């Protein structure tokens, strides 16, 4: 069997019948609403370290997950078997689990109306990532680490990951949707080890709902020597000074800033307290939706799963809601949330469309799709040129934020002094900290150079789920930011 | 023979048939049944379960290595797994660091198995949620009750064939008053040990005692960390400090033979003892055993899988993480040993237990910390970590809890916090708080530490 054969097999069959059987069984067992997702997923990951392939895994999983609503309680059951009989049994089990929820009932659960949808959707893909020969991909990764070692890295690592997922969704309200997602991405990391600390530079680490052309377009070979050299130089660079200054963030770090201090904060389940014990709540109060200032007038954040090739894109979410763009923040005012049909009903909203699960074995929940900035009026060069005294930081190294999504502290891999409109000397261990709305209201310059960054490891939920999210982001400038926090 | 061991053996045979008798193969079969009842706003809002069998295969053929897994365990699915893994190995570069397969070796210890936990249904979890909610006496509550059981097996072409099973139950919840949350969490091998009423009552007591908190200036404070916070230290030691791969790369603080910790500190990993979760062998089939990482303050070992061990010229310690070669070995059941001679005091106020109360009573001025949140490593080599306090902080003056304090952000080197002379007291009761993200068994007592570096208030 060739790698190409693997890719073709995913789409040969459909599994609407199994999904429909699961839904019917849940209804027969007392559910007033049910839906089911049959999924078949193949993944491939490879990593290299210091000139050798470290790990290659090709994984496959398939199963059905059934969600049933009995009274006001949800139940969910999943099995790794997509036969009709197994799906029916799973539907029955989901309804029984839902019935047990009545022991400690919550408020009555409704679902906002959603016209039945039928349709198919596929992510764009020019070059099937599973069709690229393994030998070619291995040679790329090994070559990247060899180059980084030659340029001073003590530990040189490279990797790629591929997901090829087919989904069939059926609901008791008549939805019948199939989708196919081909996602991939990769990156490189160079680590230099000093006596007292280690320094890291990375590049790429970019993912999308695209084919192998995404990895090719990153030009990893063209950046391997640079990141290795920078990781070595960081060991002797002066530390980021402590104090309050003007901060310029590169677009990749802006993606994480958006993810942590906007994306999670606008999740309606968090706002309603559904995640209070673990992921946390939100500083946002749904009663202030539409009239509360989140950031400066430059801040326009959209929720847009329709962006071709971005990692959070889809045709329909995991409740069958068709993808649509809406604003979350418009000219600095909070105007929208990420919602599901049940959370929207509780909050009195009339839209959903942001419910996803990380696989057939997990309950769909409110998740980010593509949450990001619309372009600003400047360029990064203009921002630097307009800054008399500040620090430019790029590429996230650590991230921490409180359970209301207010107080954050982020560390970046690299910083540079900005003096009199020019980029100056390199700074090591740059960190910055702030409070979300205060920070966003200090944004006074924003670049037009937007990149659709993809984050493939967003954790949420119990049991834990790993989500794929997209974040259009561009470099931006913030004033009066505390930097240089150290231990 | 268990169904999982039979399945593992069949896959090894299939590899031999398709790749020849010289092929090396290792197969891990894991059947996991996980059920979790989740509540928020004092009602059950998510109630889930799944039961999945997965097969993970790694082959080494003609000097090349590849791995793969599947949940499709019928004949066609297994054949496809073996065929594509062998084909993948043929297309990859040579693997000169292949450490070979684990030799045959018997398991030690008994199964961590409790039939009642394995058979528990949604009603039993819901009753514990009911008890938690009722014990909070009107406060808003949120959390979960979880039961999980594993039945696993490993077989390789070198003749190692082992099987085991284990169970875990956990409850983790908060009670809330405006501006303050209180927490209680516990993991155990037996659902019978999980008392929703006790946990709900404790969480409510903490929440009420946390109301009207004041903001204190950042700086270095003496602290008493409760077991829920100590578990975070152990997790970071496991992921970054005692990880043999990072140690080989000089990215860990650990120096074997050096007195890096206070003499009062001993840290072991032992899933075969009465605590800890999981089957008694690792992802490469190496039997798990007790390993002391820190003995009387001296770093004595790091965790190894077969590859990191080969690089270090050492032996595997039984900490291979399935499919985790890139990350390295993980000691997921670290246990900081309690001081069994430590005194206990009457539980008053928001302290977790009598041993914590005794530590608080000895503190002239400092902070009692319930929990840490969102901790992230700034530098793995020094293990400087930033994060926040959560679910209750109180000022202690002259041995008495005097007032609740608003949350802090901290930036602190974890090994330095437990360094020589830094540990002023160790509680007498080690607790395994439930872990929300995975089934880890990080276990420790309350600790009284000389200094913790709080770098900002939660409000800025």
pLDDT by residue (tens digit) across A131-175?
999 999 999 999 999 999 999 999 999 999 999 999 999 999 999
pLDDT category at A215 given cuts 50, 70, 90 is: very high
pLDDT for residue A6 is more than 80: no
pLDDT for residue A8 is more than 70: no
- CB within 8 A of B254, min separation 6: which ones? B241, B242, B247, B260, B293, B299, B302
B239-244: average pLDDT: 97
| ipTM of the predicted assembly exceeds 0.85 | yes
Among A57, A280, A459, select the one facing B69 at the smallest CB separation: A57
Beta partners for A1?
A: none
B30 touches chain A (CB under 8 A): no
Q: DSSP state, A240?
A: P
Residue at token pair 């155990």: B188
The HSE-up count of residue A145 (CA atoms within 13 Å, CB side) is 22
DSSP, collapsed to helix, strand or coil, labels residue A342 as: helix
pLDDT category at A1 given cuts 50, 70, 90 is: very low
Q: Which of B20, B140, B72, B249 is nearest to A156 (CA)?
A: B249
Take residue B146 and report the two structure tokens written for it.
């979880």
- CB within 8 A of A57, min separation 6: which ones? A43, A44, A45, A46, B66, B67, B68, B69, B323
Tell me the chain B residues in contact with residue A438 when contact means C-beta distances shorter than 8 Å: 460
pLDDT for residue A460 is more than 70: yes
Question: In degrees, to the nearest 5, what angle opens at C-alpha A246 toward C-alphas B383 and A443?
Answer: 105
Beta partners for B151?
A: B31, B165
Q: Which of B455, B431, B453 is nearest to B443 (CA)?
A: B431
d(CA B221, CA B448): 11
CB-CB contact of B290 with B360 (8 Å): no
| Among A448-457, B190-199, B328-337, B430-439, the least confident range | B430-439
Beta partners for A452?
A: A472
CB-CB contact of B160 with B106 (8 Å): no
- Subunit contact A274:B40, Cβ cutoff 8 A: yes
CB-CB contact of A92 with A125 (8 Å): no
Query: Residues A345-388: pLDDT tens digits?
Result: 999 999 999 999 999 999 999 999 999 999 999 999 999 999 99
Question: In degrees, to the nearest 5, what angle opens at C-alpha A53 toward C-alphas A52 and A57?
Answer: 170
d(CA A330, CA A338): 15
Q: Which residue of B has its CA nearest to A82?
A: B72
Secondary element (H or E) of residue A468: strand A465-473
B47 touches chain A (CB under 8 A): yes
DSSP, collapsed to helix, strand or coil, labels residue B426 as: strand
DSSP, collapsed to helix, strand or coil, labels residue B425 as: strand
pLDDT category at A11 given cuts 50, 70, 90 is: very low
Q: Are strands A422-427 and A407-419 parallel, antiparallel or unpaired?
A: antiparallel
Beta partners for B232?
A: none
What pLDDT, on a 0 to 100 scale, did the predictor assign at position A90?
98
Among A196, A362, A409, select the one facing B409 at the smallest CB separation: A409
Among A101, A411, A487, select the one facing B413 at the smallest CB separation: A487
pLDDT category at B379 given cuts 50, 70, 90 is: confident
- CB within 8 A of B163, min separation 6: which ones? B1, B2, B4, B5, B151, B152, B153, B154
What pLDDT, on a 0 to 100 scale, did the predictor assign at position B111?
76
pLDDT for residue A238 is more than 90: yes
Q: If you average pLDDT over every residue of chain B, what do you get?
A: 95
Query: Residues B426-460: pLDDT tens digits?
Result: 999 999 998 877 778 899 999 999 999 999 886 66
- Subunit contact A58:B97, Cβ cutoff 8 A: no
pLDDT for residue A5 is more than 50: no
Candidates B41, B56, B65, B71: best to mutate against A (most CBs of A within 10 A) is: B71
Query: Residues A242-290: pLDDT tens digits?
Result: 999 999 999 999 999 999 999 999 999 999 999 999 999 999 999 999 9
What pLDDT, on a 0 to 100 scale, did the predictor assign at position B399?
96
CB-CB contact of B27 with B12 (8 Å): yes
pLDDT for residue A312 is more than 70: yes
Take residue B243 and report the two structure tokens written for it.
């990880």
A79-105: average pLDDT: 95
Tell me the chain B residues in contact with residue A55 when contact means C-beta distances shorter than 8 Å: 67, 323, 325-326
What pLDDT, on a 0 to 100 scale, did the predictor assign at position B438?
76
Residue A268, φ and ψ in degrees, nearest 5 = -65, -30
What pLDDT, on a 0 to 100 scale, did the predictor assign at position B440?
86
Q: Which of A75, A76, A73 is nearest to A65 (CA)?
A: A76
B96 touches chain A (CB under 8 A): yes
| From-to residues of CATH 3.30.2290.10 in chain B | 3-206
State the sign of the Cα–Cα–Cα–Cα dihedral A159, B94, B24, B160.
negative
Rg (CA), chain A: 23
pLDDT for residue A7 is more than 60: no
Among A400, A463, A486, select the one facing B374 at the smallest CB separation: A400
pLDDT for residue A4 is more than 70: no
DSSP, collapsed to helix, strand or coil, labels residue B189 as: coil
What pLDDT, on a 0 to 100 scale, did the predictor assign at position B458?
66
- CB within 8 A of A5, min separation 6: which ones? none
What pLDDT, on a 0 to 100 scale, did the predictor assign at position B6?
96
- Subunit contact A61:B80, Cβ cutoff 8 A: no
CATH number for the domain formed by residue range(s) B3-206: 3.30.2290.10
Q: Burial code of B119-148, b = ≥16 C-beta within 10 A, e = fewer?
A: ebebebbbbbbbbbbbbbeebbbbbbbbbb
What pLDDT, on a 0 to 100 scale, did the predictor assign at position B110?
72
d(CA A231, CA A153): 7
Take residue B204 and report the two structure tokens written for it.
């409510």
d(CA B147, CA B34): 6
State the sign of the Cα–Cα–Cα–Cα dihedral B60, B66, B69, B72.
negative
State the sign of the Cα–Cα–Cα–Cα dihedral B84, B89, B92, B98.
positive
DSSP, collapsed to helix, strand or coil, labels residue B55 as: strand
Secondary element (H or E) of residue B169: strand B161-177
pLDDT category at B241 given cuts 50, 70, 90 is: very high
- CB within 8 A of A346, min separation 6: which ones? A107, A109, A110, A272
Rg (CA), chain B: 23
The HSE-up count of residue B179 (CA atoms within 13 Å, CB side) is 11
What pLDDT, on a 0 to 100 scale, did the predictor assign at position A237?
98
d(CA A234, CA A426): 7
- Subunit contact A155:B140, Cβ cutoff 8 A: no
CB-CB contact of A310 with A470 (8 Å): yes
Q: Which of A166, A124, A139 is nearest to A7 (CA)?
A: A166
CB-CB contact of B283 with B323 (8 Å): yes
What pLDDT, on a 0 to 100 scale, did the predictor assign at position A485?
84
Q: Is B404 exposed, middle or buried (0-12, 13-18, 19+ CB in 10 A)?
A: buried
What pLDDT, on a 0 to 100 scale, did the predictor assign at position B223?
98
Q: If you average pLDDT over every residue of chain A, what do you get?
A: 95
Query: Residues B172-193: pLDDT tens digits?
Result: 999 999 999 999 999 999 999 9
pLDDT category at A487 given cuts 50, 70, 90 is: low
- CB within 8 A of A91, min separation 6: which ones? A21, A22, A23, A24, A25, A26, A27, A28, A29, A34, A36, A66, A68, A77
DSSP, collapsed to helix, strand or coil, labels residue A86 as: helix
Task: Work out the number of other CB atoms within 10 angstroms of the CB of residue B366.
Answer: 23
Secondary element (H or E) of residue B399: none
pLDDT for residue B325 is more than 90: no
Tell me the chain B residues in contact with residue A1 when contact means C-beta distances shorter than 8 Å: 80, 83-84, 87
Tell me the chain B residues in contact with residue A459 when contact means C-beta distances shorter than 8 Å: 437
Beta strands in A71-154 (DSSP E): 73-79, 118-122
Helix axes A16-28, A84-100, angle to 10 degrees: 40
- CB within 8 A of A266, min separation 6: which ones? A282, A284, A303, A328, A334, A336, A337, A338, A371
A197-206: average pLDDT: 95
d(CA A99, CA A74): 8
pLDDT category at B276 given cuts 50, 70, 90 is: confident
Task: Report CA A325 to chain centroid distance, whole Å.
Answer: 17
Among A363, A400, A464, select the one facing B387 at the smallest CB separation: A400
CB-CB contact of B287 with B279 (8 Å): no
pLDDT for residue A331 is more than 80: yes
Q: Which of A166, A338, A320, A193 is nearest to A259 (CA)?
A: A338
What pLDDT, on a 0 to 100 scale, did the predictor assign at position B320?
97
pLDDT for residue A209 is more than 80: yes
What pLDDT, on a 0 to 100 scale, did the predictor assign at position B275?
75
DSSP, collapsed to helix, strand or coil, labels residue A111 as: coil
- Subunit contact B43:A106, Cβ cutoff 8 A: yes
Instruction: State what percent of residues in chain A have pLDDT above 70.
Output: 97
Q: Where do the domains of chain A lie, and which CATH numbers do they carry? A: 3-234 (3.30.2290.10), 243-483 (no CATH)
B68 touches chain A (CB under 8 A): yes
What is the nearest CA distance from B449 to chain A, expressed in angstroms? 16
């Amino acid at each position: 069997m060739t790698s190409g054969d693997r890719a073709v097999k995913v789409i040969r069959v459909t599994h609407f019948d199994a999904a429909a059987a699961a839904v019917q069984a849940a209804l027969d067992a007392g559910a007033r609403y049910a839906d089911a997702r049959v999924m078949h997923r193949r993944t491939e990951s490879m990593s290299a370290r210091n000139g050798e392939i470290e790990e290659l895994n090709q994984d496959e999983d398939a199963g059905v997950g059934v969600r049933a609503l009995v009274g006001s309680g949800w139940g969910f059951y999943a099995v790794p078997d997509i036969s009709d009989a197994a799906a029916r049994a799973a539907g029955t089990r989901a309804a029984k689990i839902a019935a047990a929820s009545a022991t400690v009932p919550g408020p009555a659960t409704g679902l906002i109306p959603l016209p039945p949808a039928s349709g198919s959707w596929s992510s764009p893909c020019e070059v099937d990532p599973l069709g690229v020969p393994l030998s070619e991909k291995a040679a790329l990764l090994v070559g990247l680490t060899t180059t980084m070692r030659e340029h001073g890295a003590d530990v040189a690592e490279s990797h790629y990951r591929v997901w090829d997922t087919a989904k069939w969704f059926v609901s008791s309200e008549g939805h019948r949707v199939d989708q196919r997602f081909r996602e991939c991405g990769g990156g490189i990391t160079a680590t230099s080890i000093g006596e007292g600390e280690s320094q890291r530079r990375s590049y790429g680490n970019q993912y999308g709902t695209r084919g192998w052309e995404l990895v090719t377009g990153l030009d990893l070979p063209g950046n391997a020597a640079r990141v290795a050299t920078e990781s070595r130089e960081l060991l002797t660079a002066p530390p980021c000074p402590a104090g309050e200054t003007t901060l310029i963030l590169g677009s990749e770090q802006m993606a994480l800033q958006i993810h942590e201090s906007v994306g999670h904060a606008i999740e309606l389940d968090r706002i309603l307290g559904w995640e209070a014990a673990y992921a946390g709540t939100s500083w946002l109060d749904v009663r202030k939706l539409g009239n509360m200032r989140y950031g400066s007038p430059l801040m326009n954040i959209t929720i847009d799963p329709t962006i071709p090739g971005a990692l959070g894109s889809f045709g329909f979410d995991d409740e069958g809601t068709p993808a649509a763009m809406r604003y979350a923040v418009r000219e600095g005012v909070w105007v929208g949330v990420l919602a599901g049909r049940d959370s929207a009903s509780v909050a009195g909203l009339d839209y959903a469309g942001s419910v996803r699960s990380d696989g057939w074995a997990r309950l769909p929940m409110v998740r980010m799709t593509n949450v990001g900035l619309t372009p600003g009026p400047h360029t990064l060069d203009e921002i630097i040129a307009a800054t008399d005294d500040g620090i430019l930081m790029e590429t996230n190294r650590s991230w921490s934020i409180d359970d209301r999504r207010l107080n954050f502290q982020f560390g970046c891999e690299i910083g540079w002094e900005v003096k009199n409109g020019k980029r100056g000397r390199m700074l090591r261990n740059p960190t910055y900290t702030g409070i979300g709305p205060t920070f966003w209201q200090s944004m006074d310059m924003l670049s037009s150079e937007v990149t659709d960054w993809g984050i493939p490891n967003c954790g949420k939920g119990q049991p834990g789920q790993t989500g794929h999210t997209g974040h259009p982001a561009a470099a931006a400038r913030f004033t009066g930011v505390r930097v240089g926090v150290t231990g | 023979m268990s169904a999982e061991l039979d399945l593992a053996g069949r896959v090894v045979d299939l590899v031999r048939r398709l790749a020849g008798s010289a092929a090396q193969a290792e197969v891990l079969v894991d059947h996991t049944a996980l059920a979790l009842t989740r509540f928020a706003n004092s009602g059950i809002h998510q109630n889930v379960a799944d039961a999945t069998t997965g097969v993970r295969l790694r082959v080494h053929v003609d000097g090349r290595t590849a791995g793969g897994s599947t949940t499709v365990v019928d004949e066609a699915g297994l054949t496809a797994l073996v065929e594509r893994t062998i084909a993948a190995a043929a297309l990859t570069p040579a693997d000169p660091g292949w450490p070979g397969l684990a030799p045959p070796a018997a398991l030690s210890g008994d199964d961590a198995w409790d039939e009642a936990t394995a058979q528990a249904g949604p009603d039993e979890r819901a009753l514990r949620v009911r008890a938690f909610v009722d014990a909070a006496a009107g406060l808003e509550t949120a959390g979960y009750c979880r039961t999980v059981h594993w039945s696993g097996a490993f077989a390789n072409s070198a003749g190692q064939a082992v099987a085991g099973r284990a169970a875990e139950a956990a409850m983790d919840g908060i009670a809330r008053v405006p501006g303050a949350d209180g927490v209680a969490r516990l993991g155990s091998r037996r659902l019978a040990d999980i008392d929703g009423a006790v946990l709900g009552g404790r969480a409510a007591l903490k929440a009420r005692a946390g109301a009207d908190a004041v903001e204190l200036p950042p700086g270095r404070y003496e602290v008493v960390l409760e077991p829920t916070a100590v578990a975070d230290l152990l997790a970071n030691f496991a992921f970054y400090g005692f990880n043999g791969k990072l140690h080989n790369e000089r990215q860990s603080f650990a120096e074997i033979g050096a007195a890096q910790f206070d003499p009062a500190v001993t840290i072991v990993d032992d899933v075969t003892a009465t605590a800890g979760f999981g089957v008694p062998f690792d992802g490469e089939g190496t039997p798990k055993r007790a390993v002391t990482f820190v003995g009387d303050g001296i770093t004595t070992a790091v965790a190894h899988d077969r590859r990191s061990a080969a690089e270090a010229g050492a032996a595997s310690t039984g900490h291979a993480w399935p499919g985790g070669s890139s990350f390295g070995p993980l000691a997921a059941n670290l246990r900081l040993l309690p001081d069994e001679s430590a005194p206990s005091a009457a539980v008053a106020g928001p302290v977790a237990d009598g041993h914590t109360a005794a530590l608080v009573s000895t503190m002239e001025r400092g902070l009692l910390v319930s929990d840490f949140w969102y901790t992230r490593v700034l530098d793995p080599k020094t293990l400087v970590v930033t994060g926040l306090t959560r679910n209750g902080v109180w000022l202690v003056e002259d041995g008495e809890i005097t007032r609740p304090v608003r949350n802090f952000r901290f930036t602190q080197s974890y090994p330095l916090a437990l360094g020589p002379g830094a540990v002023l007291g160790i509680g007498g009761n080690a607790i395994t708080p439930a872990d929300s993200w995975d089934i880890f068994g990080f276990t420790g007592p309350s600790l009284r530490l000389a200094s913790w570096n709080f770098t900002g208030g939660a409000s800025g």
